[in-house]
Structure formats: structure tokens, C-alpha cells
Amino acid sequence: MTMSNSKLFMRRIRLSISHKEAGILVLKSVNEEYKLQVTANPFQIELQSTDGIVLSMNSNGLLYFEHLQPPPSDSKTTAENKEEAASDSSKETQEDLGLWQEKFGSFLDIKAHGPSSVGMDFSLHGFEHVYGIPQHTETLLLKNTSDGDAYRLYNLDIFGHKIHDKIGIYGSVPFLLAHKPNRTSGIFWLNSSETLVDISTKAVAEHVPSRSTAETAKQRVLPRTDVRWMSESGIIDAFLLMGPTAFDVFKQFAELTGTQALPPLFSLGYHQCRWNYEDEQDVKAVDAGFDEHDIPYDVIWLDIEHTDGKRYFTWDKKKFQNPKRMQELLRKKKRKLVVIVDPHIKVDPTYTLYSQGKDKGYFVKDRNGQDFEGICWPGSSCYLDFTNPEVRKWYADQFAFKTYKGSTNILFVWNDMNEPSVFRGAELTMQKDAVHYSSWEHREVHNLYGFYQQMATADGLIKRSLGKERPFVLTRSFFAGSQKYGAVWTGDNTAEWEYLKISIPMLLTISIAGISFCGADVGGFIGDPEPELLVRWYQAGAYQPFFRGHSNMESKRREPWLFGEKNTQIIREAIRERYVLLPYLYTLFYRAHTAAEPVMRPLWIEFPGKIDTFGVENEYMLGNALLVHPVTEREVRTVSVLLPGSEEIWYDFRKFKQVEAAGTLKIPVTLENIPVFQRGGTVIPLKTRAGKSTEWMIDISYELHVAPDTEGYAKGELYLDDGHSFQYLHEKQFLHQKFTFHKQVLSSRFTQVNTKKVISKNKIYWRNKG
């Protein structure tokens, strides 16, 4: 194994050599704000700021990397390798210990190059609050693992995942953030093999840097968090993101992995999904039900049963006899369709996708060089090797209208089961000794499999429009950088209150790991929610980035109007609130796209000096202006809401009324809605009313909600474009307007405006909440 160099990301600060001697190299920034010391023996990197040590590598001496080597049977005793021959018995012992092969029940994992793990420890000085490394059903604040299991990053299909479990589930982003009142730092461990992360926080005595040679060195006791990364294979490729603010860290991470793709506007509306809507008539009836009950929605979804025997890119010939006609009916309603396209391909010589894939050698191979076969929804299946660029290009071409029969330009895609899921496989996934493009073992690229499928799918949707239209692709499996290709969700949750509660820290963790377009299945995928739980989930989902109702085929039907008139009315209002909020939400996605700012963010991001926000996970900020506190318990009449900052002013978002004081407040709640507050000093753009779908709302006027701060000042912005094409990028066809409110005067300026085909004759009204 080779070890890559680590990279340091700061605020474009140039470092120069200030001291060099045998085994020691010291670099300093021009303004001497930072000093970086590299020691050769023992190897260690230490980064200091003017306040002391910020971060060090290998301070606990846990750096290791195992060299690739031939199997013991390949060793030959010659005059040149007597030393190897002398160690034969040692190698046999290693083999006995499972270093060359391991058994998991009936599964045998052959390690072609022997053990190849790598690891490194990092110490975060002065930090005791760390976040990130999704995806787990765990708290926002990462826990000390000294006395328990390490956090595992290994993408797995876990149906009804347990709560407060450190096992990896559908996605992995090996990115960790550390925060203290005056600094945020990050570590990006770029490795796609199975990875364990151990976290230990303790108090240590550290030296305080002397300001002059005359000063006596001092000590102080500070918290220190040690983070140990251990990966089964690959190389050590680590990036240190030095901030110093959280927003700086987000930008630095985006330089490495990309920013959130700007989604088409329709995808920010409400999505209605079920495993499965039965046929064309069922789709038509559900669509009509939304109109009949005056509930906005944008997209209806079809799960695996819409296909011909689980053969993707096909239609069931009896249930969906005329899919184009079905889509034309949706198009007339200004709505869209999403269909599922999984990565496993049914083994069937008469199935064009399978026969072409086999003939071209496009499937992942087993260790013997044959196509890897596993069991999934269609039965015996092969798995496309998305790590191969040629396979991705061919796969993208399958979305062409002439190839994907029955598809139209209102059809978009859902990639599921792409961890990849392999029924009857070890941990329900692909064997680690399967072989990919360029002889990479699956163990080395496992966490990238779904990432590459989503990449190919998004490329296919762009190509079918000749590069003109933005794609929408939802993926279950993800990795660092998946934000460039679409949306993710938290997977197969359960219709229980605890799953509603845990969805908030799960989404916050995914958001700060770069993937803003995320959500949880409203109502819970598994089981049947009681009406109150369903209502509360709709109210929470309306203020989260991706908003989809979804349910299992064994669950009872749960369209929003099936729970009595009172609950229908409340759900209707929650969804309408979402649609009125879309100008603000779309503007937040523009900020995520251009500046890497999370759409949904923990309180500490906006209030970095307020320690009481550091562990808050039952409420969150939507952008910088709205604080949302979902109700996550049954029959609640009051909730404790933290409105941070004694110097802040907060307003009830719906009543336009200033809250008496900041701090932790007991807020009365009814079933009708959840607490939402607007922060003083902000201006929020909204629509004056909701429409049947986003496309129906183009000509509905805008209004501004102005919430002055203690000085009577407020500011905000509005971003608009055509909502679907790349014209904003290629032709700069968009409007970006900034608003300022001061001394009872509202003013605005355009930072960019090219309103051709963007702005209709809309009026913008404003309301002063002061």
C-alpha cells in the first residue's frame, strides 16, 4: 500500500518555509496566523494558530498501512528470496488467522492481495463537539466510542434500521466537523472501502504559546477529541479543512466534492409515492384525488411493480398499456412522473439490457472472472459495473426517448437498492472479492457503487434533453459528492414516533456533509401511522428540503385525504405552507449551489458562539431566517423551544407577532401546526398563495416578510430562473435581487438580472413584522 499526502485547506493562505532541520520542517503563513510543523520520526503533523494547537495527525502513533503482497502459494524459494522462504511458516499462520481469506457464514472472502487496511489518528485540540460522518440512525452530536462500537461507514440495505445504532446504513460520507465557539474545522477521509471511526474526547493539559521569549510557558486544561479512521483497503488520502468558520469549511469541502446541484423547481414540491400504485387507472385516480381535495402536489411515483417482471426500462404490458398517454394526462395537469430504476439486471437472454450488458462485458465479475450473480427483486441478477466510464456512458444512453420506450420528458428517475443490495449475500450486499473495472476489488469501491449509478442516471437525463434540462434523480446509496447529481433520502424508516424524531438529526447530519437535497419518507415507509403521527410528519416534512410521502406495499393506503376531514384539512394546510415557501426554499438551494451553504442546518451553524445550541437536534434553521421546531411526540400541548441569542429578536412566522424574549420558551401547540419563527434582521420571499403544482404558480404574485432586528434593519434575497433548464448557467438567464429594510424604507438592487423568459408580470408585496 502507498500513503498519499494529506492536504490542508485554509482561506487561500500561502505557506512558506520558516525553519528546516534534520527530520523537522516548519511552515508559516505570511501573516504568521498559522504554523505547520512536520516531524519525520515519529511522523507527526501539527497545525497551530495564534491561539494554540488546532489539529495534529498521528499524535497517538496510530498511523498504519499494510502493503499489498502475493498470496503465500505464489511464493517461490530461490537464492534471491531465502528470507521469504524462511517466513513461510509465518505466512501460513497469517492464513490460518484469516488474513488471506475470511468466512462469513457460508460466504468465503478471498483477499487477492492479503490484508490491506490503512489507518490514522487525528487530534482536535480544544474541541469536544464533533458532527458528521453520515449515515447512521444516531444523534447529531457524535458520541464517544471508547466504551462501545465505532461508527461504521459501509453502505447496506437495512430494512427498518434500528434507532441509535452506529452501524452504517445506505450512504457514507467520511467527513467529520469539529466545532468550538471560535472555530470550526473538518477532516475528509477520502476512502470508499469499509471504514470505522473511533471517537474519544478527554481533558488534557496543553502548553499555551508564549507571546515573547521573556514569558514563561503556561499550561491549561482543554478538551481534546481524538478521531481514529480505519479503512479495510485503499490509501490514506486525508484533507484538513481549517475554516475557521463553518461556512468556510463548507466551501472548502465543496472545492473537493462539488456543490449541491440546483434542482428543477418541481422537485421542491410535494411528491406522492407508494410501493406500488397498481396501474394507469390508479395513477389517474390518485392524481384526481389531489385536485378533488384541493391539495397541491407535483410528482407521482411508480415503484418496481410498474415494470415487466422487474426488468427496468420496461412497462407491465397489462397494467401500463399506454404509459405515454398516462404521462400526457399528467403533463396537462402540469405534473411529473418518477419511476424506479435499480442497478440489478434480470438474468434473461431475451431482455435487451441484460443481453447487451453481457455481450459487452459490462457486469461486475466474481473472483473467477465470471459475471457476478446475486438474487434481488427479479430473481437471479447481474450488476452493472458503474465504476467503468464506458458502462456509465452506455447506461446513460438507455434513457434516450428512442431507447426507453414509453418515456417522455416529464419522466424522472429513482435509483434504489444501489448499495448494492444482494439478497442472500453477506450482509445483503455484494461480496468484497468481486472484481470491477481495472481489477479493483469491490471491497475498495463498495461505498461508491450507488454514487456512480446516480452519476450515470443524471447524465442520461441531461443527454436525452441535448444538455438543456436539469435532471432529477433520487438515490438511496450515496457518497461524498452525491450532491452534484440529485437528492437522497433516509431509506426504509418505520411509522413510529421515534423515527420521526430521529429523522431530524439524520437530515441535519447529511446536510452538513454537503448533501442539502435530503428528506425522510413522510409517515414512515414500514407500517401504518396513526393519524396524529402522519399529520405531524407532514408538518415537519413541509419545512425540510425533500418532501415525499411513501409507504410499503403491506401498509394501508395513506393518501392525504384518507384520515378524516379534520386531518385532511391540516395536511392540506401543511402542504400549502410548503408551496407558499417555495421562493425562499429555491433561493436557499441557489445558495447551496453557488456557495455550499446547507439548506437545512443545525442551530450552531447560525449561532457558532452559543454553546447551548451545540447539541440541539429537535429543532433547526431553514436557511438563516427560519427556525423550525417539529412536534415529535404524541398528544403534546406545549413544547420547549430554544430561540438562541439574548440580542436576537424572533417573530412568530404565521402571526407576524414579535416573541417576548429569546431563550428557552414553553410554546403552546395544537394539532393544526408546528412552531416556526422568523429571525429578526431577515427578509423572506414567499408566494401570496399556493397553486395546484409549482408550474401552476408561475403567475402568482410574491410577497416579502420583513422582520426587523433591534436596530430596525433587515435584509434578504430572491433568486428566480425558469425553474427547469440550464439557461441560468449557460445564458445567465436569472434574476437575483437583494432587499434591504432600514428606517421603514424597503429598497432593492439587482446583483444579476437577465429576465428573458424568467419573470412574468408578477407583483412583489411586503409585510413589516415589526
DSSP state of 61: S
Distance (Å, rounded) from C-alpha 656 to C-alpha 673?
15
Q: Could you confirm whether 416 is annotated as catalytic?
A: yes
Q: Could you confirm whether 298 is annotated as catalytic?
A: no
Residue 722 near residue 586 (C-beta atoms within 8 A): no
Residue 639 near residue 670 (C-beta atoms within 8 A): no
Q: Could you confirm whether 652 is annotated as catalytic?
A: no
Residue 685 near residue 718 (C-beta atoms within 8 A): yes
What amino acid is encoded at 236 in this protein? I
Distance (Å, rounded) from C-alpha 189 to C-alpha 174?
5
Instruction: Say if strands 52-57 and 44-49 run parallel, antiparallel, or are unpaired.
Output: antiparallel
Cell of 472: 432529477
What amino acid is encoded at 66 in this protein? E
Cell of 606: 447560525
Radius of gyration of the chain, Cα coordinates, nearest whole angstrom: 27
Q: Read off φ and ψ for residue 410, nearest 5 degrees.
A: -105, 5
HSE at residue 268, side-chain half, CA atoms within 13 A, is: 29
Residue 738 near residue 751 (C-beta atoms within 8 A): yes
In sequence order, what E strands does 128-247 have? 129-132, 151-153, 175-180, 183-189, 195-208, 218-231, 238-241
Residue 319 near residue 280 (C-beta atoms within 8 A): yes
Which among 121, 226, 416, 532 is annotated as catalytic? 416
Q: Identify the three-state secondary structure at position 368.
A: coil
Q: Read off φ and ψ for residue 319, nearest 5 degrees.
A: -85, -30
Which among 419, 459, 559, 648 is annotated as catalytic? 419
Cell of 552: 410499503
Residue 620 near residue 508 (C-beta atoms within 8 A): yes
Residue 442 near residue 436 (C-beta atoms within 8 A): yes
- Report DSSP letters for 444-481, one per residue: HHGGGHHHHHHHHHHHHHHHHTTT-B---EEESS--TT
Sole residue written with cell 491561539 = 51
Instruction: Say if strands 52-57 and 118-125 run parallel, antiparallel, or are unpaired.
Output: antiparallel
Residue 437 near residue 365 (C-beta atoms within 8 A): no
Q: Provide the b/e sequence for 15-54 (b: ≥16 CB within 10 Å).
A: eeeeeeeeeeebbbbeeeebbbbbeeeeebbbbbbeeebb
CA angle 605, 35, 3 (to 5 degrees): 85
Which among 128, 138, 492, 521 is annotated as catalytic? 492
Nearest one of 116, 84, 85, 86 to 99, comparing CA atoms: 116
Catalytic residues: 416, 419, 492
